Chains A and B, each alone.
Chain A
């Protein structure tokens, strides 16, 4: 079963019907499901998803929290979805700093990369260009 990590922006656009990326986000997920891919989320992705939703929604805070809860309950029903973390071995986390230097990544993007590598995930579904250097190297591929 092929493995793909879902980026925060994909989740946000999937739930943003007025976005120009809405259709594409749905098509990416449909393609992944159709080909029976194993999908992955991390607590880091969810943290970014929660934060950006609360920051960019026009709903009042209480309503936004309820909507977010509802959305999380639905996201975890995506077929073949699994929540993953990096290893708890402290030494492994040194790699984050190496990734930051090597690929000029922000620390949280370097953490996403660590999570993917540690969990042997070769594909990332994203709308973000920050991973282009990694895609160029080919160790992680962009899911199109």
Chain B
């Protein structure tokens, strides 16, 4: 396993690629801490409170009709397909 990684610029972000063997999945969140010359990544499990807080921060009110049913969602997609028919 490599014991060195290189940082590079991707758009406005600085990206550090980690060796595959670390098993870090795309989208996985890690806790990060800087300690003098060390940067520590921790695979800490989020608490229920942290998860709730995270989900609240990721919600956006789409102002959809309140009584929207799964059936209506399907019917709308069917309608769109039917409109495309010659």
Contact = CB atoms under 8 A, between A and B. Distances in A.
A19 B77 contact: no
A64 B64 CA distance: 10
A: contact size bracket: 35 or more
Interface stretch (A96-104, A115-123, A127-135): A127-135
Contacts of A107: 81
A48 B51 contact: no
A79 B60 contact: no
Given A9-B70, A36-B45, A128-B70, A78 B27 contact: yes
B44 to A, nearest CB: 11
A111 to B, nearest CB: 12
A88 interface: no
Contact of B64 (A57, A74, A79, A127): A57
A87 interface: no
A68 B60 CA distance: 8
B26 A82 contact: yes
Interface residues of B, number: 33
27 contacts: A1-B25, A12-B68, A16-B62, A16-B66, A16-B68, A18-B64, A18-B66, A19-B68, A29-B55, A33-B51, A33-B55, A34-B51, A38-B25, A48-B77, A51-B80, A52-B76, A56-B64, A57-B62, A64-B63, A71-B62, A74-B57, A79-B46, A80-B27, A80-B28, A106-B78, A108-B81, A130-B74
Given A38-B25, A51-B80, A79-B28, A70 B70 contact: no
Interface string B52-82: 1011011111111111101011101110110
The list of the 7 closest CB pairs from A to B, nearest first, reads: A18-B66, A71-B60, A74-B58, A81-B27, A16-B64, A127-B70, A15-B62
B27 A33 contact: no
B79 to A, nearest CB: 9
A79 B27 CA distance: 5
Residue from B29, B46, B61, B76 with most neighbouring chain A CB atoms (10 Å): B61
A67 interface: yes
B35 interface: no
